[in-house]
Structure 1
Amino acid sequence: MNYAFIAIMAVVIMTCVGIVFGFVLALADKKFAMEENPLIGEVKEALPQGQCGACGFAGCAKYAEAVVLDPDVPPNLCVPGKAEVAAVVAKLTGKVAEATEPKYAHIKCRGGNGIAKMAFEYKGVHDCAAAKLVQQGPKTCKFGCLGFGNCVRACPFNAMSMGPNGLPVVDRKMCTGCGKCANTCPNHVIELLPMSAKVSVSCSSKDFGAVAMKNCKALCIGCGSCMRNCSLKEEEGVKVVDHLAIVNQDVCHHCTNATCLTKCPTGAIGEMLKGVFKKEENVG
């Protein structure tokens, strides 16, 4: 039996079958292919191509398709593009782009090196999610920033870097407020604040009082001083939930006398100046 001849024939037959199937698929694709609306391509080109998903769709191409074909999809959903891109998309699609306020990533933790105490030395994978699997992370505070830079690596616009104190730093000029960093953080220490925010709490701890103070020197201890001294307390401008102060930005936006800032014993609640936490420079 000539095994070489059989092998050659098998290859020839498989090649012919492949060519036939390829030809059939090519014909089918040509026959059933749907022509793409050229406007979709124009809208896609106008988008920043960050593929961040902040618009609620799986990437820029999907949003471009939706905003062109669906009359109910507004033209201002591209968070990184802000008003400029919204105006272009609105013009291309013939829709009206309502004004939206830009948002920026804010780190709700000041427990950097020498501020938050360490429970043990972690020598595993340099990854926040991996570190959290080991006793909820190496810091005694189990709510703060783990410091391994998942958010930095996730940012599609290079708007974040790791600071010398082991905490991420946000470049407000580069930050688009897409929220990808916030979605990546396993401890949820990143929030998106409107540029008009006047005060914010830079802490995520839900520990209370003495326990909290043992873990970190810069956290919120849930004492409620800010809440009791809020000039808009009847509207709940600040309230304490699970031993953590929470600022209602919709209410706080109207505040003209931020008395809450003067009463915080740890400085966890502070003034925001053009998107920057004023007390950040004094910690870490």
Structure 2
Amino acid sequence: MAAKKKFPYHSAFVACNGGCHEGNGDSSCSYGCIACGLCVNTCPYGAISMNEYGVAEVDEKKCTGCGRCAEACPQQIIHIHEDANFIAVKCFNHDKGAASRKQCDVSCIGCGICEKTCTASAIHVIDNCAVIEEKYCLSCGMCAVKCPRHAIYDLRGVLTPTR
């Protein structure tokens, strides 16, 4: 079944990059994707699959932003994006830096470098994790370039490698 894109833009986004699965074999991060498959089974458009890291991944071309996957996710890491923003924080870990570092090689540690770098004041560290306010983000990618842990991505793969 082909999904029809409608205006305004809506698409699901998974805030996990799978670094906790890759480094430790099993997920030691209590905030990340647990690969349960509920989102995959719930999506009526076939827009979600599991990637090589064991993390749910959304195909934006198929996604209509209906929100069923976000409702089904037991970890609450799937969100509906309202803007076609290419810069995203692919981490939802709220532990402090040292604990976060132990769980995942690419977790947000809440250092605040992204917040200091953003000229649009679109990114803030809340509960030890970077959060982007999409309506203010210019998609310049400076936060992604400066992120020491590579938890912020340019989803196009232009400024940072995609994962």
SS at match of 1:267: coil
Q: 1:249 and 2:150 equivalent?
A: no
| Runs of 4+ with deviation above 6 angstroms | none
Describe the shift of the 1:164–1:259 C-alpha distance in structure 2 as closer, same or farther (beyond 3 A). Answer: closer
Residue 105 of structure 1: aligned partner:
12
- CA contact 1:110–1:280 (8 Å) conserved in 2: no
CA-CA distance at 1:81 after TM superposition: 5.1
- CA contact 1:117–1:216 (8 Å) conserved in 2: no
- Structure 1 residue identity aligned to 2:59: D
Provide the TM-score with structure 1 as the length reference: 0.52
> Which runs of 5 or more structure 2 residues have no equivalent in the other structure?
none
Instruction: Find 1:209's aligned residue among 75, 79, 97.
Output: 97
- Structure 1 residue identity aligned to 2:143: C
Bigger share in strand: 2
CA-CA distance at 1:117 after TM superposition: 5.7
Separation in 2, partners of 1:256, 1:145: 25
> Which runs of 5 or more structure 1 residues have no equivalent in the other structure?
1-47, 49-79, 84-99, 119-138
- CA contact 1:231–1:257 (8 Å) conserved in 2: no
Describe the shift of the 1:267–1:198 C-alpha distance in structure 2 as closer, same or farther (beyond 3 A). Answer: same
SS at match of 1:222: coil
Q: 1:259 and 2:142 equivalent?
A: yes
RMSD: 2.5
CA-CA distance at 1:168 after TM superposition: 1.4
CA-CA distance at 1:269 after TM superposition: 0.9
Residue 76 of structure 1: aligned partner:
none
- The aligned length equals 161
Describe the shift of the 1:273–1:194 C-alpha distance in structure 2 as closer, same or farther (beyond 3 A). Answer: farther
Provide the TM-score with structure 2 as the length reference: 0.87
Describe the shift of the 1:161–1:256 C-alpha distance in structure 2 as closer, same or farther (beyond 3 A). Answer: closer
Residue 273 of structure 1: aligned partner:
156
Bigger share in helix: 1
Q: 1:162 and 2:69 equivalent?
A: no
- CA contact 1:116–1:141 (8 Å) conserved in 2: no
Describe the shift of the 1:278–1:103 C-alpha distance in structure 2 as closer, same or farther (beyond 3 A). Answer: farther
Describe the shift of the 1:256–1:205 C-alpha distance in structure 2 as closer, same or farther (beyond 3 A). Answer: closer
Q: 1:145 and 2:27 equivalent?
A: no
Instruction: Find 2:65's aligned residue among 149, 167, 177.
Output: 177
- Structure 2 residue identity aligned to 1:114: E
CA-CA distance at 1:278 after TM superposition: 5.6
Separation in 2, partners of 1:258, 1:164: 25
Larger CA Rg, structure 1 vs 2: 1
CA-CA distance at 1:82 after TM superposition: 4.7
- CA deviation map 1:174-215 (0-9, x unaligned): 111111101111111111223521311001100111110100
Identity across aligned pairs (percent)?
Answer: 34
- Structure 2 residue identity aligned to 1:238: I
Separation in 2, partners of 1:202, 1:163: 14
